[in-house]
Structure 1
Amino acid sequence: MTASAQERRTRILDAVREAGSIRVVELAERLGVPTVTVRRDVAALADDGKLERTHGSVSLPADATGWWPAGRGRVIGMLVPGVGGYFDEVVAGASAAATAAGARVILGIAPYGADSGREQVDRLLESDVGGLLLAPDWTPGRGLRGSEWLAGLPVPAVLVERRAEPATPAAQLDAVCSNHRHGVLVALRRLAELGHGSVLLAARSDTRTAHEVRAGYTAAVQQLGLAEPPVIDVDSSPRGYQDLAERIAEAARSGIRAALVHNDQDAMQLPALLRAHGLRVPEDVALVAYDDVYAALSDPPLTAVAPPKRAVGAEALGLLLRRLGAGDELPVHQTELLPTLKVRRSCGGPV
């Protein structure tokens, strides 16, 4: 039975009240209604003063009692391990979602290994933030263990590209992450479809992404029935890149002619260095990068696994606003978003 316009509009208002702010496309998906119909209903509700529209998103206006949606006027603190790379797009996604909801994000930076996450969070709290998006330092092999203070924060918090150990108090925090293990599987499946029976992995070991990429590699080669050569540890230095190119060249001479490299910055060094060994990308070596921050700017452009970085930031911001609006009535959400593979020239054709 088709819902009436009044029923649809009631459901739209209920969904916006729950979310605080929501994109029209997402609203249509949630309600199972064509986007064009939702846009028409949203326009009618906006004309009646029941909704506000901003750049493809909708939110509730202030009513006569002065009530505002969860995001209106909020200041959200966001902790990241650095800028100028992966987390730039995560921050951009969160900031855009905050703006659409009438909120704003302020940033704190706690670099890997500096052990300054708690100090930076304290500074954000001094700015009277209403909630926190947190990507604190993550130690390989330990995860977020040792970060019990995360469970005692005075405001709601959402972990971003992080997941607390199950047995720790911080495991009760909301979290939004990329599923990097799925990203590795997608990359290796593509290379297997091209005829590669073995794929080298060259990866860092100092971040959560690197840890998940390595774990995903072991699982993917087993699932796809590929051979599993030893993982190459990446040393991001001029000498380290030369050594990496030599290792890949040796593997190519032995018949392993495909490599997945974490991350873009490291993968971009390889085409020129491999040419010194008489090898071309992709004619002699198929190359896939992980992160897709700079991969399209390489020569040749690199096929890359693209974690949904902006979407992670936006989803985390939206989840935090829902938490601010609903409090403990909202169940703990721990969400994983799936990376995609951006196919460019560097992985070549069938072998």
Structure 2
Amino acid sequence: MALTAEERRARILDAVRELGTVRVVDLAERLGLAAVTVRRDIAALADNGLLHRSHGAVSLPRGAAAPAPTGRDRVIGMLVPTVGSYFDEIIDGARTAATAAGARLVLGIAPYGATEDRAQAEQLLESGVDGLLVTPNWTPEGPGGVGAWIGELPLPTVLVERRAPADSAGAGLDSVASDHRHGVILALRHLTGLGHGAVMLAARQDTWTAFQVRAGYAEGVRLLGLEPQPVIGIEHPGQDSEAVAERIAEGVAQGVRAVLVHNDQEAIQLVPILRARGLRVPEDVAMISYDDVFAALAAPPLTAVAPPKRAVGGAALELLLRRLDSGDAGLPVHHVELLPELKIRTSCGGVG
């Protein structure tokens, strides 16, 4: 015999009292009812002040007796600009931390250069997540075009590999990021120690990380007293290798025998092209790459700046869970920067 509306709604209330905050789809599955029926009953209960609805989830109204949510009740949405290479390790770090806490990670992707950040974030919200890890598609010039929505998200949010300027809409959000400027200075200091008085930079200009690498280069040249060099721009990643190699060859001809390349893919492509021009790595030009995703697989293996990618993902997930658990208890906003390492291999010389 089919349940009456009164019986269904009583069962819904009992389940929410037992579970606390629960996604509507999970509640429907638990009760063996159609999701559309459960949503209709929840709407009626909410209208009567007996339930509270929020982004695909349901809970008892504030002040009603309900069990406190734990890590095992959490569903975390993670928005990234790409999967593969760099962000694979960040996602893996977040997933490992979520698993350890008994939480579940749900992934969304808004590709570089697209304007889908907000729509993808809203889709994650509608799926019933409890909090968000977000890597916005901010341009190298800053967070232009992101808009106020980033600071108006209705759930606890942590920026990942991004930090909002103090005057932006996201300034009050928690963030966990690699200190890329520090990573670049590590590379420049190592090359200085090998006797180089000038270092070229060949860098992309289409990502937030690329902007930070360029800024770190300018700062490092000033701090270390290096002879400034024009930045060699990689305008079309994966397609500019011949032109970039020509610029590096010109620099070597002028006595500059070291280069930092952002990122691994670009550096690996440059090595054989330089060799075809009679320039060997590291004998004729010392090379360090930035990212350390594939650098160890190059021939020769590339010395590389290694941002703590997995640690960034893990720390962001753990910070978000702390934010969720603290509620309105006054946990201060955290802006966390983790320091990259320099992985010494053979491409810059000075090692056996």
- Once the two structures are TM-superposed, the CA of residue 68 in structure 1 deviates from its matched residue by 6.5
Residues 212-251 of structure 1: pairs in structure 2 closer than 5 A: 212-236=212-236, 240-251=240-251
Q: State whether structure 2 residue 341 is matched by structure 1 residue 340.
A: yes
Which whole-Å CA distance do the structure 1 matches of 2:343 and 2:127 have between them? 40
Instruction: Look up the match of 1:75.
Output: 75
Instruction: Look up the match of 2:350.
Output: 349
Instruction: Look up the match of 1:101.
Output: 101
Per-residue displacement from partner, 1:138-177 (whole Å, max 9, x unpaired)?
A: 1121325643111211210000011112112321000001
- Once the two structures are TM-superposed, the CA of residue 235 in structure 1 deviates from its matched residue by 3.6
Against the structure 1 CA distance between its residues 70 and 172, is the aligned structure 2 distance closer, same or farther, given a 3 Å change threshold? farther
* 1:72 match: secondary structure: helix
Which whole-Å CA distance do the structure 2 matches of 1:87 and 1:239 have between them? 22
Instruction: Look up the match of 1:289.
Output: 289
Which whole-Å CA distance do the structure 1 matches of 2:98 and 2:336 have between them? 19
Which whole-Å CA distance do the structure 1 matches of 2:327 and 2:317 have between them? 15
| 1:235 and 1:241 in contact (8 A); partners too | no
Q: State whether structure 2 residue 148 is matched by structure 1 residue 134.
A: no
Instruction: Look up the match of 2:39.
Output: none
Which whole-Å CA distance do the structure 2 matches of 1:71 and 1:293 have between them? 31
Per-residue displacement from partner, 1:231-254 (whole Å, max 9, x unpaired)?
A: 000144666201111111111121
From the CA coordinates, give the structure whose radius of gyration is larger. Answer: 2
Which whole-Å CA distance do the structure 2 matches of 1:188 and 1:145 have between them? 33
Which whole-Å CA distance do the structure 2 matches of 1:322 and 1:244 have between them? 45
Instruction: Look up the match of 1:317.
Output: 317
Which whole-Å CA distance do the structure 1 matches of 2:188 and 2:300 have between them? 20
| 2:91 and 2:310 in contact (8 A); partners too | yes
Q: Which amino acid aligns with 2:254?
A: S
Instruction: Look up the match of 1:171.
Output: 171
- Once the two structures are TM-superposed, the CA of residue 66 in structure 1 deviates from its matched residue by 9.0
Detail structure 1 runs of 4+ shifted over 3 Å in the superposition: 65-70, 235-239
- Once the two structures are TM-superposed, the CA of residue 276 in structure 1 deviates from its matched residue by 1.0
Against the structure 1 CA distance between its residues 206 and 193, is the aligned structure 2 distance closer, same or farther, given a 3 Å change threshold? same
Which whole-Å CA distance do the structure 1 matches of 2:170 and 2:274 have between them? 45
| 1:144 and 1:165 in contact (8 A); partners too | no
Q: Which amino acid aligns with 1:139?
A: T
Q: TM-score, with normalisation over the residues of structure 1?
A: 0.79
* 2:201 match: secondary structure: strand
Which whole-Å CA distance do the structure 1 matches of 2:144 and 2:89 have between them? 22
Q: TM-score, with normalisation over the residues of structure 2?
A: 0.78
Which whole-Å CA distance do the structure 2 matches of 1:305 and 1:69 have between them? 40
Which whole-Å CA distance do the structure 2 matches of 1:259 and 1:302 have between them? 12
Which whole-Å CA distance do the structure 2 matches of 1:346 and 1:236 have between them? 24
Against the structure 1 CA distance between its residues 69 and 295, is the aligned structure 2 distance closer, same or farther, given a 3 Å change threshold? farther
Sequence identity (%): 61
* 2:327 match: secondary structure: helix
Against the structure 1 CA distance between its residues 215 and 238, is the aligned structure 2 distance closer, same or farther, given a 3 Å change threshold? closer
Q: Which amino acid aligns with 1:164?
A: A
| 1:145 and 1:168 in contact (8 A); partners too | no
Q: Which amino acid aligns with 1:345?
A: T
Q: State whether structure 2 residue 301 is matched by structure 1 residue 298.
A: no
Which whole-Å CA distance do the structure 1 matches of 2:164 and 2:111 have between them? 19
Residues 6-21 of structure 1: pairs in structure 2 closer than 5 A: none
Instruction: Look up the match of 2:25.
Output: none
Instruction: Look up the match of 1:191.
Output: 191
Q: Which amino acid aligns with 1:336?
A: E
Instruction: Look up the match of 2:261.
Output: 261
Which whole-Å CA distance do the structure 2 matches of 1:292 and 1:319 have between them? 25
* 2:240 match: secondary structure: helix
Against the structure 1 CA distance between its residues 323 and 84, is the aligned structure 2 distance closer, same or farther, given a 3 Å change threshold? same
Q: Which amino acid aligns with 1:225?
A: G
In structure 2, runs of 5+ residues without a counterpart are 1-64
Instruction: Look up the match of 2:17.
Output: none
| 2:238 and 2:266 in contact (8 A); partners too | no
Q: Which amino acid aligns with 1:233?
A: G
Which whole-Å CA distance do the structure 1 matches of 2:257 and 2:76 have between them? 47
Which whole-Å CA distance do the structure 1 matches of 2:104 and 2:238 have between them? 40
Q: Which amino acid aligns with 1:196?
A: H
Per-residue displacement from partner, 1:29-78 (whole Å, max 9, x unpaired)?
A: xxxxxxxxxxxxxxxxxxxxxxxxxxxxxxxxxxxx99567421211000
* 2:72 match: secondary structure: coil
| 1:144 and 1:164 in contact (8 A); partners too | no
* 2:159 match: secondary structure: strand
| 2:202 and 2:262 in contact (8 A); partners too | yes
Q: Which amino acid aligns with 2:234?
A: V
* 1:94 match: secondary structure: helix
Q: Which amino acid aligns with 2:201?
A: L
Which whole-Å CA distance do the structure 2 matches of 1:144 and 1:156 have between them? 22
Instruction: Look up the match of 2:208.
Output: 208
